[in-house]
Amino acid sequence: MTEDGQFGFRITKLAGQHMFQFQLVIDGHLVGDQEPCIIGSAMAALGELPNLDDQRLDLLSSDSAAVISVLESDAEIHDAATLSIAESLDGWWLRGYVHGGKVVMLARERRHGRSMGALLSSIVACDEYKSVYKVTRDYWLNARDSM
């Protein structure tokens, strides 16, 4: 987790081959459920977030609704930023990308196919993200391989 507690990963090894609980911390909130899942594809996707240079994404701090609109209406940006990475996050609208030298993670709870509640956002310097990701990935690999 970042030093300020606003972004991170929560992974817990469970009984069973390659099974983990996997959640994200975004904007200081725990995102995802505690159901067991296999997280290999999640770790791969989180290690290779797309770099999006579109200037419309600059508006996140002043007009998050405009940024969400871009993320939903521009097919190329939508496909690149959408994170469908683990079953434990199926109840969340989740987007992640690199923009302006920072990693941006956005989440909003989904119920009955609709986004609900407040938009959660974490903006993390790339070096800090890489550090948190590396610790998480190393833990996952060691736990997975120690079975």
Q: Three-class SS of residue 95?
A: strand
What's this model's pTM, rounded to 2 decimal places?
0.91
Cα dihedral 108→111→115→117 (10° resolution): -60
pLDDT tens digits for 76-131?
A: 999 999 998 888 898 899 999 999 999 999 999 988 777 778 899 999 999 999 99
Cα–Cα distance for residue pair 70/73, rounded to 1 Å: 5
At residue 33, what is the residue type?
D
pLDDT of residue 147: 62
Mean pLDDT across the stretch 20-44?
Answer: 93
Cα–Cα distance for residue pair 61/5, rounded to 1 Å: 19
